[in-house]
């Protein structure tokens, strides 16, 4: 073999090795980062399967000697788990349904209609997204207390009816992209805008409607502070119950039941996300930029 024929051949093998090495590094990074990201949730599940002794053991007791599946049943019975889950569900359904409809309604206005002051209002809408909710929530709580709406679900009805800027923006982007002819023909036919919205635009916006509904549902299901402030221990949501109710008579926490309960609290949200992933992600990323 001469040097000339060897040279290009070894270069290609070299390049191939380099590509393969690069790919190996990439997969190693991805797999380890993914492992790290799943770690906390895995640990939560493992903790929910241990005994209290194992959970307090030092040094760490990596795996339970016997998987304590009954922890999940116990967590169900130690508190009125189903009752709290129902409260969460009711609040989340009320809010998600109302806020999706109201945001679609408002979004339609911003996308398809004009009036003096529209620019300013839209600016205020975008600006209000920057407003930390915590700043308004605390005084809102005082007002709700004053008008006797504490320990009722009315706050969620009102919040739902008044549309969420984030979702309004989502709908506005979607409706603005629909062809003009849609409503022009309907106007000529004598339809009012409400009819146009309800009969023509809404039925075509299932992707956004479902994305909005799921986003709003997960917000409410995950919200800890509003129900903690506004609702009493009986009427409160699963988020608050999981956080605070797993204590024994002496007031000390029961971590294995709390872990099991929080797995049962989190899994529905993960399932909803996995099932509706596409719309959810599309919704998140649209609102992010465009």
Partner 1 sequence: MTVDQISSVADRPDAAARAGRAPAVGGSRTSMTARRHRAFYMFTSPWIIGFLLLTVTPMVYALWLSFTTFDGISPNWKYVGLGNYRELLNDPVTWDSLGRAGLFALTSVPLSIIAGLVLAVLVNRPIKARGLFRTLLYLPAVVPPVGAGLAFKLLFDQNSGASNGVLTFFGFDAVGWLADPYARYVLLMTVLWGAGNVMIISLAGLQDVPRELHEAARIDGASAWRTFRSITVPLLSPVLLFQTVTGMIASVQTIMPLLLAPLGDTSGITTVPQSNYLYMMHVFAQYFALGRYGYASALLWVLFVLILAVTGLIFKFTSGAVFYNVDPEAKK
Find the binding residues for partner 1 in span 168-227 (CB under 8 A): 168, 176-177, 187-190, 192-194, 197, 218, 221-225
Stretch in the footprint of partner 1 (CB under 8 A) among 4-12, 13-21, 59-67, 198-206: 59-67
Question: Residue from 231, 242, 257, 279 that binds partner 1 (CB under 8 A)?
Answer: 242
Nearest-angstrom CA–CA distance, 173 and 103: 12
Is 281 near partner 1 (CB under 8 A)? yes
- Please state, in angstroms and rounded to a whole number, the distance separating the CA atoms of residues 201 and 171: 11
Give, as ranges, the residues between 21 and 40 that touch partner 1 (CB under 8 A).
23, 26-27, 29-30, 33-34, 37-40
Binds partner 1 (CB under 8 A): choice among 56, 73, 82, 275: 56
Return the number of the residue (153 or 165) whose C-beta is nearest partner 1.
165
Using the minimum distance from each CB to partner 1, give the nearer residue, 1 or 135.
Answer: 135
CB of 118 to partner 1, least distance (A): 6
Residue 147 found at the interface with partner 1 (CB under 8 A): no
Q: Which stretch binds partner 1 (CB under 8 A): 3-11, 56-64, 69-77, 199-207?
A: 56-64
Q: Number of residues in contact with partner 1, rule: CB under 8 A?
A: 101
Question: Which residue in 51, 61, 93, 182 binds partner 1 (CB under 8 A)?
Answer: 61
Candidate residues 20, 21, 28, 62; the one interacting with partner 1 per rule CB under 8 A: 62
Q: How far apart are CA 211 and CA 277, in angstroms?
A: 9
- Least distance from partner 1 to the Cβ atom of residue 215, Å: 10
Taking the least distance from each CB to partner 1, the nearer of 190 and 203 is 190
Answer yes or no whether residue 55 interacts with partner 1 by CB under 8 A.
Answer: yes
Nearest by Cα to 171 from 119, 123, 101, 114? 101
Per-residue binding string, partner 1, 98-137, x by CB under 8 A, is ----x--xx-xxx--xxxx-x--x--xx--xxxxxxxxx-
The verdict on 269 binding partner 1 (CB under 8 A) reads: yes
């Amino acid at each position: 073999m001469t040097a000339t024929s060897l040279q290009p051949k070894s270069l290609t093998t070299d390049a191939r090795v380099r590509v393969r090495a690069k790919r190996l590094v990439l997969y190693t990074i991805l797999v380890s980062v993914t492992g790290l990201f799943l770690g906390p949730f895995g640990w939560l599940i493992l903790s929910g399967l241990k005994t209290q002794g194992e959970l307090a053991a030092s040094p760490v007791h990596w795996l339970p000697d016997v998987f304590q599946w009954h922890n999940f049943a116990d967590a169900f019975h130690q508190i009125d788990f189903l009752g709290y889950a129902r409260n969460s569900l009711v609040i989340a359904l009320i809010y998600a349904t109302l806020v999706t409809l109201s945001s679609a309604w408002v979004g339609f206005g911003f996308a398809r209609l004009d009036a003096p002051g529209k620019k300013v209002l839209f600016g205020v809408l975008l600006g209000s997204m920057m407003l930390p909710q915590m700043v308004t929530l605390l005084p809102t709580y005082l007002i709700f207390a004053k008008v006797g709406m504490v320990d009722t679900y009315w706050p969620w009805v009102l919040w739902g009816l008044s549309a969420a800027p984030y979702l309004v923006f989502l709908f506005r982007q979607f409706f603005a992209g629909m062809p003009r002819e849609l409503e022009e023909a309907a106007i000529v036919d004598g339809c009012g805008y409400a009819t146009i919205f309800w009969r023509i635009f809404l039925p075509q916006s299932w992707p956004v409607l479902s994305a909005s509904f799921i986003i709003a549902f997960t917000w409410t299901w995950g919200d800890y502070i509003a129900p903690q402030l506004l609702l009493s221990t009986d009427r409160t949501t699963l988020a608050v119950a999981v956080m605070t109710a797993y204590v024994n008579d002496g007031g000390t926490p029961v971590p294995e039941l709390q872990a099991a309960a929080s797995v049962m609290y989190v899994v529905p949200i993960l399932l909803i996300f996995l099932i509706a992933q596409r719309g959810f992600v599309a919704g998140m990323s649209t609102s992010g930029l465009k």
